[in-house]
Amino acid sequence: MDGLHDSVSLKFRTKKEVSLFGAENVVFKPKCMNIEAGKYVVLMNVNDAKIYGLMPGDRVQLKKGRKSITCVVDLTKTLVKPKVMGIFKEVKELLNLKKGDSIQVSALPTLPSVEAIVRKIHNEKLTDKQISSIINDVVHNNLTEAEVSAFLVAAEINGLSLDETVALTNAMVNSGEVLNLNKKFVLDKHCIGGVAGNRTTMVVVPIIAAAGFYIPKTSSRAITSPAGTADTMEVLAEVEFSMEELKKLVTKAKGAIVWGGGVNIAPADDKMIQLRRPLHLDPLGVMLASILGKKKAVGANHLIIDIPTGRGAKVEDVNEARNLARKFKEVTDRLNIKTNVLITDGSEPVGNGIGPILEARDVLMVLAGDGPLDLREKALLLAGKLLELTGKYKVGEGYGVAKSILDSGKALKKMRQIIELQGGNGKVKVSDLQPGKYTYDIKATKKGRVEHIDNKNISRIARAAGAPFNKGAGIYLHKVKGDFVKKGEAILTIYAESETKLSQALKVAKTFPPFLMEKMFIDELL
């Protein structure tokens, strides 16, 4: 394909070797293209590249007056003529290029960040400065996708040391804005995910805020799940805010639940996640830095981490969970974040509702003193442990304090304040939240007990039904593990906002069964 092939040269060049344009800059005429490249890249005619000794992936500096920008070179035979440079939207806007302008172009040596990436490929330990150079160039789009991917692969294969992980975390924090509340206690929580439902954040935050502690919670949208916390909170209120707006929210209500992608927190991480996702890469050190960088950026100094473990969860083996817990502790100790890590049962969904509206209904019911017992109990456990971390309560007292706040209605009142401050209806009722009108009950084909509800298959079905993009789509669980069901009794209901989506969900359900029934060897006795 002509142009935009994103090639990369990892050959080192020194400043002495880069005399490609001689003593002075070469002047090119820009050809502005109405295309977004997603990075700072320019197109050069292959004949110019031969003359100046440039290869795809080399970097040049473009200047117009006092403005300059570093770009990656890509080559073309036909899209631009010699002495003309193809300019994409991002570069055009930064240089404010207009018709008739000229640009000065000079070659640049290999970036220090690229040299650092090559060293990591060869399993060398990187310094804080080298890691900072990588993250800085990721933020400023100075690295190609191939180069960033090379770093991620190297981190996956060779791993990151504790020093490198801490350095990467701090570099992530420094890549964006930080929230400075200047408070002694700033609390936060995190779950590594992988469990359908599990909307504990939306119960924990109002409990902690009602207890008088600050908890600026930045949450994610769904990647492979039927809903992230931000998707579910969006049913009740706005979730996209600037850092200054987040500070005002937290100052007033002590708590907030916002989408982390809307706040300029650790932007380098967001860029790296875009490359990690299609490659299915999750290097441990990068994952730790990704999570903890965002906690550090909001000023958290007390943190509870939930590692759901068990059949079908992200972490299935308890020994692996314990190792991950130790890694979290090692890094947070270095970051001066007082942390408690809980290994919880992640073998089945938490709550009855799966999908934004259905999960929001569960949350409101729990806050009102009703709703799924497992969601209530897990949220109380996490909130209690987080309260104990502050030292204000003895070990074993936190659960009771959290329960008292929840049962008194203070948490619900606080949640209504948070919803209203975030632009939602603070008086919202469960009955106001109606899921999709197209439904289908999946029923037991025989009597017996439910042996297992499969997290991954539940998520597949709910997403096929339209979640999280269709807020009313999802699944409602009528039964959980161990429940006895009669033949023909509904175990779960699928909700969709269109017949087409419902049909798609049913096809997925046939391929990926959402539950298993226990084998009954004495059926006649039941």
Q: pLDDT tens digits, residue range 440-498?
A: 999 998 899 999 999 999 999 999 999 999 999 999 999 999 999 999 999 999 999 99
- Tell me 197's DSSP state: B
* CATH number for 138: 1.20.970.10
Q: Rounded mean pLDDT of 122-151?
A: 92
Among 142-146, 190-194, 342-346, 384-388, where is mean pLDDT lowest? 142-146
Q: CA-CA distance, 168 to 285, in Å (whole number)?
A: 8
Bigger pLDDT: 272 vs 374:
374
Report the length, in residues, of the chain: 526
Q: Are 351 and 500 contained in the same domain?
A: no
Q: What phi and psi values does residue 493 have, to the nearest 5 degrees?
A: -120, 130
**What local confidence, expressed as pLDDT, does residue 150 receive?**
94
Q: Are 269 and 413 contained in the same domain?
A: yes
415-438 confidence digits (pLDDT tens): 999 999 999 999 999 999 999 999
300-316 confidence digits (pLDDT tens): 999 999 999 999 899 99
**What local confidence, expressed as pLDDT, does residue 261 receive?**
82
Q: Rounded mean pLDDT of 2-13?
A: 40
Bigger pLDDT: 273 vs 357:
357
Among 144-148, 248-252, 295-299, 505-509, where is mean pLDDT lowest? 144-148
201-256 confidence digits (pLDDT tens): 999 999 999 999 999 999 988 878 899 999 999 999 999 999 999 999 999 999 99
* CATH number for 508: 3.90.1170.30
**What local confidence, expressed as pLDDT, does residue 491 receive?**
96
The helix/strand/coil state of 409 is coil
> Is residue 167 in a domain?
no
Bigger pLDDT: 240 vs 6:
240
Q: Are 214 and 358 contained in the same domain?
A: yes
Q: Are 383 and 257 contained in the same domain?
A: yes
In three state form, how does the secondary structure of 253-294 look? HCEEEEEHHHCCCCHHHHHHHHHHHHHCCCCHHHHHHHHHHH
Of 84, 107, 130, the one marking the end of a domain is 107
Structure confidence at residue 519 as a pLDDT band (50, 70, 90): low
**What local confidence, expressed as pLDDT, does residue 1 receive?**
39
> Is residue 150 in a domain?
yes
> Is residue 20 in a domain?
no
Dihedral sign for Cα atoms in the order 28, 34, 35, 37: positive
Q: Are 251 and 349 contained in the same domain?
A: yes
Q: Are 128 and 102 contained in the same domain?
A: no
Q: What phi and psi values does residue 459 have, to the nearest 5 degrees?
A: -65, -40
Structure confidence at residue 24 as a pLDDT band (50, 70, 90): low
Q: Are 130 and 237 contained in the same domain?
A: no
> Is residue 168 in a domain?
no
> Is residue 6 in a domain?
no
Q: Yes or no: say if 53 and 73 are a contact pair by the CB < 8 Å rule.
A: no
Furthest-apart CA atoms within the chain: distance in Å: 94
Residue 140 reports pLDDT greater than 90: no
Structure confidence at residue 148 as a pLDDT band (50, 70, 90): very high
Q: Known catalytic residue: 163?
A: no
Q: CA-CA distance, 78 to 70, in Å (whole number)?
A: 23
Of 396, 421, 446, the one marking the end of a domain is 421
**What local confidence, expressed as pLDDT, does residue 11 receive?**
40
Q: Are 403 and 448 contained in the same domain?
A: no
Q: Yes or no: say if 199 and 351 are a contact pair by the CB < 8 Å rule.
A: yes
Q: Are 406 and 446 contained in the same domain?
A: no
Q: CA-CA distance, 88 to 103, in Å (whole number)?
A: 14
> Is residue 1 in a domain?
no
44-83 confidence digits (pLDDT tens): 999 999 888 888 888 888 999 888 888 989 999 999 999 9
Of 390, 421, 452, the one marking the end of a domain is 421
Q: Are 124 and 97 contained in the same domain?
A: no
151-178 confidence digits (pLDDT tens): 999 999 999 999 999 999 999 999 999 9
Boundaries of domain holding 91 = 26-107
Structure confidence at residue 12 as a pLDDT band (50, 70, 90): very low
Choice among 101, 128, 282, 483 that is catalytic: 282
Residue 299 reports pLDDT greater than 90: yes
CA 155 to chain centre: 19
Look at the chain and report how many structural domains it folds into: 4
Q: CA-CA distance, 242 to 227, in Å (whole number)?
A: 22
* CATH number for 242: 3.40.1030.10
Structure confidence at residue 107 as a pLDDT band (50, 70, 90): confident
Proportion of the chain above pLDDT 70, given as a percent:
94
Q: Yes or no: say if 35 and 74 are a contact pair by the CB < 8 Å rule.
A: no
* CATH number for 51: 2.40.40.20
Proportion of the chain above pLDDT 90, given as a percent:
75
> Is residue 166 in a domain?
no
**What local confidence, expressed as pLDDT, does residue 268 receive?**
86
Q: Are 55 and 153 contained in the same domain?
A: no
> Is residue 482 in a domain?
yes
Q: Are 381 and 357 contained in the same domain?
A: yes
28-37 confidence digits (pLDDT tens): 999 998 888 8
- As a whole number, the mean pLDDT across the chain is 91
